[in-house]
Amino acid sequence: MLLQQNPFTCRVQRTDRRAKQLQIISAVAPGTSSENSLRDERALSGSRAGTPGPAGAFVEGQEAEARQQLFGKIAPVYDQLNNLLSLGQHRTWKRMAVKWSGALAGHAAVDLCCGSGDLAFILAEAVGPLGKVTGLDFAAEMLQDADIRQSSLPSLTKRRQSHIRWIQGDAQQLPFENNSFDAATMGYGLRNVASIPKALSELQRVLKPGAKVAVLDFNNSTNPAVDAIQGWALENVVVPMARSYGLGEEYEYLRPSIKRFPTGREQVRLAKEAGFTKAVHYEIGFDLMGVLVATK
């Protein structure tokens, strides 16, 4: 099976939920060369590539392993902080993304960089009991949370939802056949991958012709007023709140990562370069967030 051929792929199996244990079948191996990723990133963002991040987070030369560790560390409080920091709004934005992905009953859908599974659960509602959802992330701790959340859903909800599987893997080197999925989502993941062009071209490869991906993330707004408000909120609300959870440094990476992230217009260009036939970027949440909708 393809899952075993790809050395980066680990199939996550539920074993003892109460002990929060997941059995990972194959070992995680380095995916893409960081050298190539950096070259891509420099080509993509030009002078922005040098934007410094806080110590240990998303600075040049950082390896995939360090990124995994960062998200592993955030995992225990990730959902709680998301709810607090967005005043619950992230769920509305995620529902919009799922709607725009075109996921329908019976579809096979994938959520990349799934974290603790928010988007995958909403996708599961959309595709229903006859559909299938795959959540992929490279941080084992995030997948453990997703798995625990899934197992604690009320049984009626579980029955109404599709089968969800969690896979540990790299969004830049997907362990799936070409043309596998009817719909895809990615929430706050594209900004975090080492090579955006690679992740987009992998998404394009695994979607069926005509299928769509909706990529939700912070908006790197070109409007100075929006940019100023976003910068103020991150510095004065988000980072201090994260600091109260002992994660100040981990959340300081947000602002530089948003400034390095392509603007909506750049995302549309990158999606087309990756082979998507159509791409549109929507600004939402007072333009603080954005959703790229790309059609294969």
Ligand X SMILES: C[S@@+](CC[C@H](N)C(=O)[O-])C[C@H]1O[C@@H](n2cnc3c(N)ncnc32)[C@H](O)[C@@H]1O
Residue ranges with strand state E in the chain: 10-14, 22-24, 108-112, 132-137, 163-168, 181-187, 207-218, 278-284, 289-295
Task: Please state the φ and ψ torsions of residue 187, each to the nearest 5 degrees.
Answer: -115, 120
| 116: amino acid identity, one letter | S
CB 150 within 8 A of CB 121: yes
Residue nearest to ligand X (CB): 115
Q: How far is the CB of 78 from ligand X (least distance, A)?
A: 7
Min. distance of Cβ 278 from ligand X in angstroms? 23
Nearer to ligand X (CB atom), residue 156 or residue 174: 174
Cβ closest to ligand X, residue 117 vs residue 131: 117
CB-wise, 27 or 225, nearer to ligand X?
27
Q: How far is the CB of 254 from ligand X (least distance, A)?
A: 9
Smallest distance, ligand X to C-beta of residue 179, A: 21
> Which residue, 63 or 225, is less far from ligand X as judged by CB?
63
> Could you tell me which residues are beta bridge partners of residue 218?
289
Q: Which stretches within 86-217 are classed as H helix?
A: 89-101, 118-127, 140-151, 155-160, 196-206
- Cβ burial, residue 84 (10 Å; 0-12/13-18/19+): middle
Considering the complex, state which of residue 57 and residue 211 has its C-beta at the smaller distance from ligand X: 57
Shortest Cβ distance from residue 143 to ligand X (Å)?
Answer: 8
Q: Which residues bind ligand X (CB under 6 A)?
A: 67, 71, 113-115, 118-119, 137-139, 142, 170-172, 187-189, 192-193
Three-state secondary-structure class, residue 291:
strand
